[in-house]
Amino acid sequence: MALDLQPKMKNRVIPALLLVQVLFGLWHVVGSAVLDHLSPPALIGFRVYLSTPILLLMAGVWKRPLPNKRDLLHLMALGAMIIPGNQILYAEGLFLAGPINASVLLMLAPVFTLALALILKHEKFSWQGSLGIALAFIGALGLAELDQFALAPETTTGNLLLMAAAFCYACYLVMAKGAFQRVGFLPGVAWVFLAGGIWASPWTVPAVMEVPWTELPTEVIAMLTFVILGPTLGTYGLNAYALEKAPSSLVGVFITLQPVIAITLAGTLLHMELKMNTLLWGLPVLAGVILSSLSPSRTQQPESPSGPEDSVETTA
């Protein structure tokens, strides 16, 4: 795939995309470390309830007219998909299966997105994209270790939760385009976080209230601060910038760097070893993501200003 960008723009977009993947790779590892001190709903509650007011301020929603009833209902549905559906399932899966499996299985999101787009006839069929979907699914099922459920039920359950999180995110991507085009990307994300925080409150509010915040170690507070500034606010801004300048297919390919980053950091910071099963089944997932991202039905689509939600992450 040729990168049709001006040299100066390429020098800005590529570093932005690389930084996004580093931040998301760190999110898998840092999130896993924080889960030694917080429950999964408490971590997501902290992330959502601190990020939402900042996103609302950044979007300047008080200066904009309130979305109409149709768009509000649309945004509420998106909130249900992205916070309880994607982020809580992701945190639970991360807690049970670990950051390496999380980084690989969440790559299914763009593959699920393409599969849904083909089913709904939003995109044209292509053999390349279909092969990518098949390869990614085969790799994901192998990585899920369904045959090992009796021996390692927590890991298998975690893997299934991560796959469900990726599917919820894919549904979110498919549903988000119209609403975000009407209300704008950043305001749309802010409203989605607000709605999602409300949907998730039965799980997150009690969990957040149970945390002894003043007793948490300094390093955990530092990691939680990073979660807000890096994998949440930083990635949204950088992804939005990159997708205004580059094809969404290019951004889709960059997601394949996340497992490499997460595996390296998990080994360095958490002393976790890469299992042969992860390597064996992770490779077809990587190949499937690349093939589906570079599918002619995707690379020939006109670009939309709502970019990130058509392509890859808000990720987890």
Q: Return the pLDDT at 1.
A: 44
Q: How far apart are CA 312 and CA 316, in angstroms?
A: 10
- Of all helices (H) and strands (E), which one includes residue 252? helix 248-254
Helix axes 153-183, 69-80, angle to 10 degrees: 160
pLDDT digits (tens, 9 = 90+) for 234-293: 887 777 666 566 655 566 667 777 787 887 878 777 777 767 777 777 788 878 777 776
Q: Return the pLDDT at 302.
A: 42
- How would you write the pLDDT of the chain (316 residues) with one tens digit per residue? 444 555 555 567 778 878 888 898 899 999 999 999 999 999 999 999 999 999 899 888 888 888 899 999 999 999 999 999 999 999 999 999 889 888 888 888 878 888 888 888 777 777 787 888 888 878 877 777 665 655 568 888 998 999 999 999 889 888 887 888 888 888 888 999 999 999 999 999 999 999 999 999 999 999 999 999 998 888 877 776 665 666 555 666 677 777 878 878 787 777 777 677 777 777 888 787 777 766 665 555 444 433 333 333 445 6
Q: Return the pLDDT at 252.
A: 60
Domain ranges for the chain: 15-311
Q: How far apart are CA 224 and CA 212, in angstroms?
A: 14
Q: Return the pLDDT at 65.
A: 86
Q: Return the pLDDT at 114.
A: 80
Q: Return the pLDDT at 234.
A: 85
Q: Return the pLDDT at 148.
A: 60
Phi, psi of 14 (to 5 degrees): -60, -50
Give the global pTM: 0.81
Q: How far apart are CA 192 and CA 176, in angstroms?
A: 10
Q: Return the pLDDT at 195.
A: 96
Q: Return the pLDDT at 27.
A: 92
Q: How far apart are CA 269 and CA 298, in angstroms?
A: 37
Provide the total of helices (H) and of strands (E) in the chain, helices listed first.
Answer: 16, 0
